[in-house]
Structure formats: C-alpha cells, structure tokens
Amino acid sequence: MAECRGRILVVDDDEGLRDLLVRYLADNGYESAGVAEGRAMKQHLAAHPVDLILLDVMLPGEDGLTLARDLGTHGGPPIIMLSARGEEVDRIVGLEVGADDYLPKPFSHRELLARVAAVLRRRQPVAPSGRIRRFGPFEVDLDAHRLMRNNEEVDISGAEFALLKVLLENPDRVLGRDALVELLKGYERALRPHGRRARHAPAPQDRARSGAPGLPAHHLGRGLPLLARRHSSAMIAPQTLFGRTALVIALVSFAFQIFTIAVITYFALIPLGRHATSDFAALLVDTAQAWQAEPVSERPWLQERIGRLHRIQVQDPPGETAGFTRLLPYFQLLEASLGTRTGAVIELRASRGEDGEKWYWADLPAAGATVRVGFPASRIDVQPWLAMVLILSVGTVVTLITSAWLARWLIDPLSRLAAATQHIGKGQRPESLPETGPAELATLAREFNRMGVQVEELLANRTTLLAGISHDLRTPLARIQLALGMLSENPSATSSIASCTTSRE
C-alpha cells in the first residue's frame, strides 16, 4: 500500500468541484475528505487529524475568511484558499487573515499539487543540505530550495528562487540578460518583472537607515542597480493650498503697505517738507541779510544770538566745503526754497566742525555780497528710511503671522476633506468630517459625509454583485479544468469524472 503523503480536507460548497478535488488528491497519494461548509469542517477537525485544508472563500454561513482567521487564532492546520475572487486585494486579505497560500479559480491541477506539496513541506522539519549560502540575516539552501531569514522560512516563488540561485552561484560577475536567460532555463519570462523590481530596490544606504536586509549586488545588462535614482527639482512656488494662500495674502498685504507709505509720503510728508523748508529758507535768507547789514563790531553778538535761538551760524571767513550725497528729499526741497527766495541757484555743501559734527552751508546773495550761512546736521535729525524699514519689517512680520493663521483657518477643513477623499480613493471609509465652521464649509462637510456613506454602500453592493457573478462563473470553470486535467492523466476514469462534473441541484 502506497504511503500517505498527507491528510487533506476540502471545504467547498460546490459538490462537483469538491468531489473532483477529493478524488484527484486521493489519486496522488493524499488521504482526502470533503465537506460543504464551516460547521461540518469543525466537526471533521474535531474527529480526524488534518495536515492541510483547501478552503473556499464563498461558503454558506461562515465565509472562508472568517474560518481561516479562527483556525489561525487556535493554531489549526495550514490553509490554501480556493476562491473565484482572484483580485490582488482579495489575495492579500486572504493571506493576512492566516492563509498559507491563495489559489484563484480556475486553476491548474498540477499547480494545485505543487502548492499543496510546498505548503506541507514548509510545515515539516527539513535537515539542511550541504550547499548553504549565507548573506546578512539570510540563509539559502540551494539543494532544498529554501530561503531562511533569521531562522524563519521566507516564502518565494520558484522563479524568484531560480534567479536568486543564479546570482549566488555567480558572485562578483556582471550577468547580461542573455547570460541570465541561458542560466535560468525555463524562467526566462519571469526575468523581466524581477529585473524591474531589482532596479527599483532601495539603495544600500537607504536599507541601512531603514533596517532592511542587504542583498547581493549584481547587474542586468549594465547591472541590476540597487542604487535608486533620485530626482529632485527646485520648488519655487509653494505646492500646497495653505502655502499658496498664505503667500498671496502676504504679498497683497506687503504691496498694500508699500502703497500706503507712498500715499502718505506724497500727500502728507512732502507737502509738510515744503512748508518746513520754505520757512527755514526764509530764516537763512533773513540771517544773511541781517549779517550784511550789521556793522562788523556787532556781528559777534548776532552770531551768538542766531546760534542760541535758531542753531545756525555764519561762516566768516568762508572755509572749505565739499559736495555730499543727498539721501533725504529735505535737501532738495531746501535748495528749491532758497532758489525761489534769492532768485539764484543755491547748492548746499558740507563740512566738518571742530567737534566732528557735520554742517551744511549755503552761499546766499545779500546786498551785493555773498554770505555763507549754515546749520548742523542735528538740526534736521530725522531718519525717514529707518522709520520706513521699521514699518515694513513689523508690518511684514505681522502680515506673515496673520496670513498664516488666516490661511490655516481656511485650509484646515479643506485639508481634512482632501485626506478623507484619499481614503475613499483607496476604497476605505473615511472618518466623518466635523460639520462646523463657516456655513459653506459646514455644508461641504455635511454633503461629503453623506456622499461617503453612499459610496461605501455602492462599493459594498458592487463587491457583492461581482463576487457572486465571479463565483458562479469561475467555480464551473475550475471544475471543468480540473476534470480535463484528470482525464489527461487517467483517460480510463471518464465516466466517474464526468459524473462529478455534473452540477447537483
């Protein structure tokens, strides 16, 4: 009597497919049995030892995912999920709830046997063979086709192991595509996706930072570059709505400050300056005329008086002076006023006093002579540029803080809406948005919450509909494909196999 390769329980509500699976497994050396739903499965497990369960997802009562989760929690036997739902998300969910493998319908009978043997082999202790390769936390048994990481087996496909084996057996070599195709021998079609994944693998320094294991570095064509290409571009303008809103508010506020300063300067400061310089020009002209009219003996008294009362002096005799840069419009206004009152072109010049203070002088005509009258820089001790800088600086800081706060206040609800929209795009139900704030935003949040509920219901209905249609179509196809595979191996069993393929009402 042939040795039993393992005890397998088939759980599927389609009787024809279930009977075919039980028969096919039995013909290949497995002790097999079949049940139609979860309750019968639990009863069988309580009464009989089972090494592996072939579990359908769409079952009456408890579905296969729930049963797989319960079996994983209580340390049940390994599970291969059989399902008409073969999308990536379905396979991921099946593996995450505790399945050891996932086989979508329809499937090849040879693939089924290979997966059954692989799952049973992983659950059995295997003595390591002689050809062992180690790198980082990995250990590869080339003869047993096993990849271990930190003493735990890593589940990889045959094509992946074949590529890994070729790379390990050819260290420090640049393997071109033709060489890899020759060495893989049967896995040529798998070379393209694995090469593409290797090209997008993280760089060694990135793996070191993240704690990810290192892999042997090889090359495909020019090499399988494990150094990821990084693309960076200079971002001139903010990319977020918050940044752009804050920037616009800040720029508008700054422009308004400039406009306000210009208006105040043109309509207030310059007219005031004209009046002030006109009065001061009259004082300077009167001083020059009085100086020229006074006897020489009385001029010291006049010098002392005008210095004490008006902080101006007459330079007699005139000394050396020089031109200067007119940073303030006050000087241009004063020269214009002096020219108007004297009928001549007057140019202010500068010199340094004995105490180091700067003086400004004007040569004014008086009674046929020229009198040099001047005043110290401290007499016009104004700093309009400093005032403007302070106004702009403080205004800019206040504007930035205000614009940031205002932009955040306006954008926060939209940011929550964007995050919730991304959840919906991923097929997830987002958390309800707070229906507070301004009336427009509260209405938007309320309608979005309502839309989220509707989208969730539509997705659930669509999933149920597609799952039902897929199950109804894929299960008969799986039954037919399995029957054809069994007939190709055992043509003499035509009548018994045909009876299994007939659906029982």
Looking at residue 230, what is its pLDDT? Answer: 39
- Higher pLDDT: 220 or 435? It is 435
494 band by pLDDT with thresholds 50, 70 and 90: low
**Contact 345/283 with Cβ under 8 angstroms?**
no
CA 67, CA 364: separation in Å to the nearest integer? 110
Looking at residue 160, what is its pLDDT? Answer: 77
**Contact 27/112 with Cβ under 8 angstroms?**
no
CA angle 395, 399, 403 (to 5 degrees): 180
Query: What are the CA-CA distances from residue 136 to residues 1, 75, 208, 213 (Å)?
Result: 46, 31, 12, 7
CA 67, CA 59: separation in Å to the nearest integer? 10
- What residues does 175 pair with on adjacent strands? 220
Q: Quick check: helix, strand or coil at residue 108?
A: coil
For the cut 80, the answer to whether the pLDDT of residue 81 exceeds it is yes
In the numeric block, which tokens belong to residue 284?
A: 């300077």
Looking at residue 383, what is its pLDDT? Answer: 67
What's the chain's average pLDDT?
Answer: 78
**Contact 48/71 with Cβ under 8 angstroms?**
no
Mean pLDDT of 485-499: 64
Q: Can you list the alpha helix ranges (DSSP code H) found in 348-383?
A: none
Looking at residue 502, what is its pLDDT? Answer: 57
Q: Going by CATH, does the domain composed of 243-385 fall within 3.40.50.300?
A: no
Q: Going by CATH, does the domain composed of 132-210 fall within 1.10.10.10?
A: yes
Q: 7-124+482-501 is classed in which CATH architecture?
A: 3-Layer(aba) Sandwich (3.40)
State which amino acid sits at residue 418.
A
pLDDT in tens, 248-298: 887 888 888 888 888 888 888 788 888 989 999 999 999 999 999 999 888
Looking at residue 220, what is its pLDDT? Answer: 41
pLDDT in tens, 357-389: 999 999 999 988 999 999 998 887 666 667 778
pLDDT in tens, 399-449: 888 877 877 777 777 777 778 777 766 666 667 888 877 777 788 888 888
- What residues does 371 pair with on adjacent strands? 364
For the cut 70, the answer to whether the pLDDT of residue 188 exceeds it is no
Q: Which of 64-68, 127-131, 343-347, 482-486 shows the lowest mean pLDDT across its residues?
A: 127-131
Looking at residue 147, what is its pLDDT? Answer: 86
Looking at residue 192, what is its pLDDT? Answer: 56
154 band by pLDDT with thresholds 50, 70 and 90: confident
CA 134, CA 151: separation in Å to the nearest integer? 12
pLDDT in tens, 11-46: 998 888 889 899 999 988 899 999 999 999 999 998
Q: Quick check: helix, strand or coil at residue 468?
A: helix
For 122, residues 6+ apart whose C-beta sits below 8 A from its C-beta are 78, 100, 153, 155
For the cut 90, the answer to whether the pLDDT of residue 475 exceeds it is no
